[in-house]
Structure 1
Amino acid sequence: MVALIYAIVTGGNKGIGFEICRQLASNGVKVILTSRNQSRGEEAIEKLNVCGLSNVVFHQLDINDPSSIACLVKFVQTQLGKLDILINNAAEIGIIIHDDKEFKDGGGFVQVLDENVHLLTNIIKEPYELGEKCLNTNYYATKTITESLIPLLQPSKSPRIVNVTSTYGDLCWFHNETLKEELQSIDSLTEERIDEIIRWFLTDFKAGKLQKNGWPLTTSAYKVSKAALNAYTRLMARKYENILVNCVHPGYAITDMTSQTGFITAEEGAKGPVMVALLPDNGPSGVYFDGTQIASFSSTRLVDKKQIAPLS
């Protein structure tokens, strides 16, 4: 008898998260689709059931709510006994798009470059409160859900953690060379230092010192959150040698997260995270996938504006 493979997907009710659930279920994986919103999560399950996929169940999860995380952990403990795959897909973008038409007419996120920051002031706003929420969700809450579920991943014969990241987490967006080197040097980096870097960023963000200290100037909190998540991925891979821990940029997909702009469909965007979730036991760990290909955490080449694919 073949043992069932159990997977949890955060933020699974729509977009790339929904497609990840569908594709995993199509591969015979028993999927726990999670969503903050109960009714939207149940609607997503109904859509999958209509497609003939009965091996998907819903469980409410707000990764920013410790009691919600505890409820999910208890469900896995009592109903499943173990977990094989965790895909951390839930995220916040941290910005407000004020002029949707002008944003889309300008090329969507392709135009969101630091050199264009003065041209974007009436199109995109990034209030401090949203930036702080972005970091709390994309980094700290993702850490919390991951560490809460690791004891349930340990009994698995082939445990996998997949962190959905972004090209916006590439260190090429940082203008502080010392900071870039520190985030790249994983042998000396610690979780405590990542916390210090985030606090430093938030202090500069509130004080209007992003340019002075070499931080990203556009979608700043999102970029810092994904760079921190990438670094955390590498630390986790080193700490848990029996778990394959990787991060994946799915591509610039047309979803609500990207205001329906992008180069690829959500279905195409899900292919990378699903492939990495189903890697063979001798697969890599602690690496960054751009789609289905291994890439660098820090690009040394100039960014090709036509290939920018920032968000999931």
Structure 2
Amino acid sequence: MKTVLITGANRSIGLETAKQLSEKGLFVYLGSRNLENGEQVVKELTEKGFQNIKAVEIDVTNPDSISAAKSSIENEQGKLDILINNAGILGVIPQTTTETPVKDIQDVFDTNFFGVIRVTQAFLDLLKKSDSPRISNITSGLGSLTLHSDPNWKYYHVKNAAYGPSKSALNAYTIALAYELREMPFKVNVIDPGYTATDFNAHSGPGSVESAASFIIKHTLTDDSAPSGQYYSNDIEDETGISPW
């Protein structure tokens, strides 16, 4: 049975991804900053018939929390097949480039960018024990510099000082990570689940969590011939789903 860790999985897209992967027969570690919250979610899922889901406490901004989660999974499984870096924050709104305090921008980057690096580096040795390791970094269309430079893009005017740039940085890190792991069986990609109705955006997005999770899984449970170092978006309206960087 393949194992997967999803950070920030106690609600919204992360939770739906956990549910769908459980239904596909994977053992899911449902990452939550607060263990009690995560265990309550797992209890509710178990009562609904979901199997092989376990809550694990992991705060991506806290190295000790990450280390403890890694030790727990290593003791129970010995390896990790899939890492989905889903945890993210929007930050204080509005985020003007001229007035947003640097501390507010740093807080967003600490979760959305540095948090991914912390978790990835911590779990890399467990992923290397898998026959087909996968790392999916959950990004946003707002991280695309190409789209942000196109006045005809439908979200052209949605610009900010912290959230979008944190995802652009994440995209850049993913390219470098995929390159560094290119001689191993890793598939490392960034996946934009699309503008989805969640608590994150006060349910303003047009997409559903079911569609978002399905898209993440489609580009995570890939075969050996699949690309690595790619940028997929659920908002791109063609069969490839490939987004410009």
Q: Secondary structure at the match of 1:261?
A: coil
Aligned to 1:308: none
Aligned to 2:153: none
Is 1:296 aligned to 2:243, yes or no?
A: yes
The structure with more helix, counted as a fraction of residues: 1
- Sequence identity (%): 34
Q: CA deviation at 1:24?
A: 0.6
Q: Secondary structure at the match of 2:219?
A: helix
Contact 2:4–2:80 (CA under 8 A) maintained in structure 1: yes
Is 1:279 aligned to 2:228, yes or no?
A: no
Q: CA deviation at 1:130?
A: 2.3
Give the greater-gyration-radius structure (CA): 1
Structure 1 unaligned runs (5+)?
98-111, 118-124, 176-215, 299-312
Is 1:152 aligned to 2:122, yes or no?
A: no
Aligned to 2:152: none
Match of 1:218 among 159, 183, 190: 159
Aligned to 1:44: 41
Give distance in 1, aligned partners of 2:4 and 2:79.
10
CA distance 1:79–1:259, shift in 2 (3 Å): same
Contact 1:126–1:219 (CA under 8 A) maintained in structure 2: no
Contact 1:248–1:289 (CA under 8 A) maintained in structure 2: yes
Match of 2:179 among 226, 230, 238: 238
Q: CA deviation at 1:217?
A: 8.4
Q: Secondary structure at the match of 1:96?
A: coil
Structure 2 unaligned runs (5+)?
150-156
CA distance 1:254–1:174, shift in 2 (3 Å): closer
Q: CA deviation at 1:128?
A: 3.4
Paired letter, 1:28: G
Q: Secondary structure at the match of 1:267?
A: helix
Paired letter, 2:167: K
Aligned to 2:193: 250
Match of 1:82 among 71, 79, 84: 79
Paired letter, 1:171: L
Q: How does 1:45-60 map to 2 (within 5 A)?
A: 45-60=42-57
Paired letter, 1:7: V
Aligned to 1:130: 104
Give distance in 2, aligned partners of 1:80 and 1:41.
19
Match of 1:20 among 17, 38, 43: 17
Give distance in 2, aligned partners of 1:14 and 1:279.
24
Contact 2:174–2:188 (CA under 8 A) maintained in structure 1: yes
Q: CA deviation at 1:268?
A: 1.3
Q: Secondary structure at the match of 1:248?
A: strand
Q: How does 1:168-183 map to 2 (within 5 A)?
A: 168-172=142-146
Any idea what the Cα deviations from partners look like across 1:226-255, whole Å, max 9, x if unmatched?
Answer: 011111111111111221000110011111
Is 1:94 aligned to 2:91, yes or no?
A: yes
Is 1:66 aligned to 2:66, yes or no?
A: no
- Give TM-score, length-normalised by structure 2: 0.88
CA distance 1:31–1:81, shift in 2 (3 Å): same
Contact 2:147–2:244 (CA under 8 A) maintained in structure 1: no
Q: Secondary structure at the match of 1:158?
A: coil
Between 127-136 and 272-281, the greater mean CA deviation after superposition: 127-136
Match of 1:167 among 129, 132, 141: 141
- Give TM-score, length-normalised by structure 1: 0.70
Q: Secondary structure at the match of 1:294?
A: coil
Aligned to 2:154: none
Contact 1:94–1:126 (CA under 8 A) maintained in structure 2: no
Give distance in 2, aligned partners of 1:271 and 1:71.
29
Give distance in 2, aligned partners of 1:86 and 1:139.
15
Q: Secondary structure at the match of 1:148?
A: helix
Give distance in 2, aligned partners of 1:50 and 1:265.
23
- Backbone CA RMSD of aligned residues: 2.2
Q: CA deviation at 1:173?
A: 6.0
Give distance in 1, aligned partners of 2:31 and 2:158.
33
